[in-house]
Amino acid sequence: MPSTQASLSPGILSLLPMFYVAWSDGILSPTEMSMIHSKIHQYDFLTDDDRAYLISWTDPSRSPSKAIFAQWIREITRHGAQLPESDRHGLAQLGWEIATKISDGSNKQKWMSEATRSSLLEMEKILGVEHDDSSALILNRFRTDREHYQRDPASQIDTKALHEFLEGDGKVMRDRLRALLSDPSFSTEYRATKKEYRDWALEKCQVLADQGYGLLALPEYVGGQDNMTDYASVFELLAHYDGSLTIKFGVQFGLFALSILNLGTREQHEKYLHRAGTLALKGCFAMTETGHGSNVRGLETTATYDKESDSFIIHTPRRQAGKEYIGNALHGEAAVVFAQLIVAGESHGVHALYVDLVDADGNDLPGIQREDCGYKMGLNGVDNGRLYFDQVAVPRDQLLSRFGRVSDDGTYHSDIENPNKRFFVMLGTLVGGRICVASAGLAMAKNALHIATAYAHKRRQFGPSDDEPETLLIDYPSHQMRLIPRIAEAYGIGFALTDLSARYMDDAEKNKKIESLAAGLKARATWFATSTIQECREACGGAGYIWENGISQLKADSDIFTTFEGDNTVLIQLVAKGLLSDFSREFHDEGFRAVFRRLMQQANTSITEKNLLNVRKTDAAHLLDPVFHREALRFREKHLLHTVALRMRRYIKQKLSSTDAFLRCQNHMIALAHAYVDRVILKAYHKALETCPMEIQPTLRHCAEIYALDMISRHKDYYLEHGYMEGSKTKAVRRILRQRIQSLKGSSLALVEAWGIPHSCLQSELVQ
């Protein structure tokens, strides 16, 4: 009977990692056993002694003793610890690397050969340890010791290169703002009363304006820089720092100034924009009403043209029609007010007007009534309030007239004849705001992930025994599951938003598709922020609840992001409607039914023929193949699209009103929109992989794999229900996902550090 021996040969070591896992993980079947025997006899890289030793350990009735196990793991760790991280993808690879490394001159050639490596990979398959839970744990054990992450968290990946890739252009401006936010005058403290918090936010807004940040997005002819990209970067960076300041800044320089820019004429720009961009004129964006948030078309405030005084009379017909949640409502000196425009008794739909709220002395003008919304869950530095108008007269030239105006003779004119189309063009101004809110939500989620990941790398709780150190939180599989897939998803959402911004800035692309994408990513990024910050709070335990540790304020401030600038549930349905109408348009000519049959046939063929093997394919190469990921995500989206289209068409054909038909399909449509956004993010990930520098590619690929497998895994019920995968495959997906997550834990801290959030912005005692 074999016993421990002084030193193990390359041949034995080449197979030892696999044997270790096979033994610790289960019992081999007789068939597998006989295959292993015959392979061991065939392998020319083994000596006879090697063969005897290895075969002795294939007898299921003779389990290795504790001492043998200890020797095995010691030997593997000893050699394995010296190998660079990237070389250890699996047990066979590990064994091969060790053997190659310790074999001497004459045998080295044989060991280095591809044939030898293939033989080992083949054995890995036979033993069934290819991507086993235990493999992951053991590989991991060789990789690092518990202290490692703490000592040198960033050693595994090129944090600097990754950070620079993420920064893209505009680094100079970003670094300048980072420096400002790290200035002692920007240090933060808890501000308990809304008064002190609001005063602070206004003061800091002025500091930003004085530095020129308010003019960034405005045209050069009003003193601006016409640089929307930099404006968006400022907004995003501010979100790392303070939610109230971010929103205050966005209301003034985004909603207020940019709505004048988008809806006003050149003369109006010249009249208002420089003052707006320097905060010499404080303004609000008064769209939402108490009774009408999402349904902007149903706003009730009226702007009735009065020919006699040549002015518009702004009026709030009932309390529910008051302007609600308006940021800057208390500090504001003017407002862009959205109202039903009525000219000569005829309504022309919602239009925006520039309305003064105060006279030259700063006193409220007659007919203006303001009300404080009071305290909120968060963002208490923003002076949200309600505005009511009692027959307030506004000169004719204050109608923002780019898309509709009243001429000298008192008649209404617009270059866009269709009122429907006009409405959507005017609302297009919201798209930029949605992209900004999405970025801000993601930024705040990143703060939380940074804090929670740093904490997980230093906080210990419970341990194997009294004389060993307690276990780091990040070493718990459940804790890895909480944080790492979210880090991967944050990267993906970031790439998708970068893509979207670039397309949005490109005027040629300003179309329905971009609006739909912005709606979808706004919903996704902000829901992601809400759930991620929540998870991070819990992952930090009691410490996460304390204000000075930074997470609680992120939660309170970002919570409303899922609602404002478009309620997520409404936006996600817009996305689905967009997809459906694209689909209908595409096939309008060919005849719906025919096309539909063809598509369903294709879908079914792809399951039954092409995927006949795929439905139960569980090897790692396939499961990690980006093509598999793309196809799986596309299948879910397309299948949902086709089935919802079929249902809608059937209902409509069967005389249901489109509202009723839509209500019947509502949950189905929401599922479709989510599937679409999932795929868009993966696409952006893959695009980033193509363009990123070589040195960060492996890391990003690893993250992309986790993102894709996580999405597949979350929707495995769908894949199983529709026969796209079998149970054996969804189980394999879960296993390999877990393994990929586990093997990223060492780099997880470097991944959050690469975001480059200034330390001062984290405002957390938990990050040191």
Contacting range for a copy of itself; rule: CB under 8 A; set: 160-168, 208-216, 375-383, 495-503: 375-383
* CB 551 to a copy of itself: min, Å: 8
* CB 316 to a copy of itself: min, Å: 18
CB of 449 closer than 8 Å to CB of 483: yes
Assess 562 for contact with a copy of itself (CB under 8 A): yes
| Contact pattern from residue 703 through residue 722 relative to a copy of itself, giving x for each residue in contact according to CB under 8 A and a dash for the rest | -------------xx--xxx
Question: What are 268-276's contacts with CB under 8 Å, separation 24+?
Answer: 268/354, 268/397, 268/400, 268/401, 269/219, 269/221, 269/222, 270/221, 270/222, 272/334, 272/354, 273/218, 273/219, 273/222, 273/224, 274/215, 274/218, 274/222, 274/223, 276/214, 276/218, 276/252
Assess 61 for contact with a copy of itself (CB under 8 A): no
- Select 150 or 666, whichever has its Cβ closest to a copy of itself: 666
* Residue of the chain from 7, 38, 478, 691 that contacts a copy of itself (CB under 8 A): 478
**571 phi and psi, to 5 degrees?**
-65, -40
At residue 172, what is the residue type?
V
* CB 505 to a copy of itself: min, Å: 29
Q: How far is CA 255 from CA 89, 432, 460, 505, in A?
A: 50, 9, 46, 17
- Positive or negative CA dihedral for 678, 690, 699, 537? negative
Assess 569 for contact with a copy of itself (CB under 8 A): yes
Residues between 386 and 445 that touch a copy of itself (CB under 8 A): none
As beta bridge partners, residue 284 has 335
Contacting range for a copy of itself; rule: CB under 8 A; set: 45-53, 302-310, 328-336, 464-472: 464-472
Contacting range for a copy of itself; rule: CB under 8 A; set: 311-319, 491-499, 562-570, 748-756: 562-570
- Select 442 or 671, whichever has its Cβ closest to a copy of itself: 671
Q: How far is CA 354 from CA 51, 264, 271, 280, in A?
A: 88, 9, 11, 16
* CB 74 to a copy of itself: min, Å: 13
Instruction: Name, in order, each residue with C-beta under 8 angstroms of 525's C-beta and a sequence gap of 6 or more.
Output: 437, 438, 439, 441, 442, 445, 493, 497
* CB 292 to a copy of itself: min, Å: 7
Return d(Cα 266, Cα 520) in angstroms, integer: 32
- What's the chain's Rg over C-alpha atoms? 31
CB of 534 closer than 8 Å to CB of 751: no
- Select 413 or 714, whichever has its Cβ closest to a copy of itself: 714
Return d(Cα 586, Cα 46) in angstroms, integer: 62
**329 phi and psi, to 5 degrees?**
-65, -30
Instruction: Name, in order, each residue with C-beta under 8 angstroms of 317's C-beta and a sequence gap of 6 or more.
Output: 300, 301, 302
570 φψ region: left (φ > 0), alpha (ψ -120 to 50), beta (else): alpha
- Select 176 or 653, whichever has its Cβ closest to a copy of itself: 653
**221 phi and psi, to 5 degrees?**
-70, -5
Give the DSSP H/E element, type plus range, for residue 233: helix 228-241
* CB 379 to a copy of itself: min, Å: 8
CB of 13 closer than 8 Å to CB of 90: no
Return d(Cα 31, Cα 54) in angstroms, integer: 17
* CB 565 to a copy of itself: min, Å: 11
- Select 400 or 571, whichever has its Cβ closest to a copy of itself: 571
- Select 211 or 666, whichever has its Cβ closest to a copy of itself: 666
As beta bridge partners, residue 326 has 385
* Residue of the chain from 1, 172, 192, 621 that contacts a copy of itself (CB under 8 A): 192
Assess 2 for contact with a copy of itself (CB under 8 A): no
* CB 332 to a copy of itself: min, Å: 18
* Residue of the chain from 186, 564, 592, 596 that contacts a copy of itself (CB under 8 A): 564
Kindly report the three-state secondary structure assignment for every residue of 560-619: HHHCCCCCHHHHHHHHHHHHHHHHHHHCCCCCHHHHHHHHHHHHHHHHHHHHHHHCCCCC
Assess 24 for contact with a copy of itself (CB under 8 A): yes
Return d(Cα 762, Cα 755) in angstroms, integer: 12
Residues between 738 and 767 that touch a copy of itself (CB under 8 A): 738
- Select 149 or 651, whichever has its Cβ closest to a copy of itself: 651
- Select 267 or 538, whichever has its Cβ closest to a copy of itself: 538
Assess 476 for contact with a copy of itself (CB under 8 A): yes
Residues between 82 and 101 that touch a copy of itself (CB under 8 A): none
- Select 3 or 465, whichever has its Cβ closest to a copy of itself: 465
Helices marked H in 417-461: 419-427, 430-456
Assess 537 for contact with a copy of itself (CB under 8 A): yes
* CB 738 to a copy of itself: min, Å: 7
Return d(Cα 616, Cα 744) in angstroms, integer: 26
* CB 538 to a copy of itself: min, Å: 6
- Select 394 or 580, whichever has its Cβ closest to a copy of itself: 580
* CB 183 to a copy of itself: min, Å: 24
Residues between 642 and 661 that touch a copy of itself (CB under 8 A): 650-651, 653-657, 659-660
Assess 560 for contact with a copy of itself (CB under 8 A): yes
Task: Count residues binding a copy of itself (CB under 8 A).
Answer: 89
Residues between 121 and 180 that touch a copy of itself (CB under 8 A): 133-134, 137
| Contact pattern from residue 283 through residue 322 relative to a copy of itself, giving x for each residue in contact according to CB under 8 A and a dash for the rest | -----x---xxxx--x------------------------
Assess 547 for contact with a copy of itself (CB under 8 A): yes
Q: How far is CA 139 from CA 24, 93, 111, 134, 742, in A?
A: 13, 11, 21, 8, 10
Contacting range for a copy of itself; rule: CB under 8 A; set: 59-67, 121-129, 513-521, 701-709: 59-67
Report angle CA 257, 168, 756 to the nearest 5 degrees.
Answer: 90
- Select 676 or 755, whichever has its Cβ closest to a copy of itself: 676
* CB 295 to a copy of itself: min, Å: 5
* Residue of the chain from 60, 463, 591, 693 that contacts a copy of itself (CB under 8 A): 463
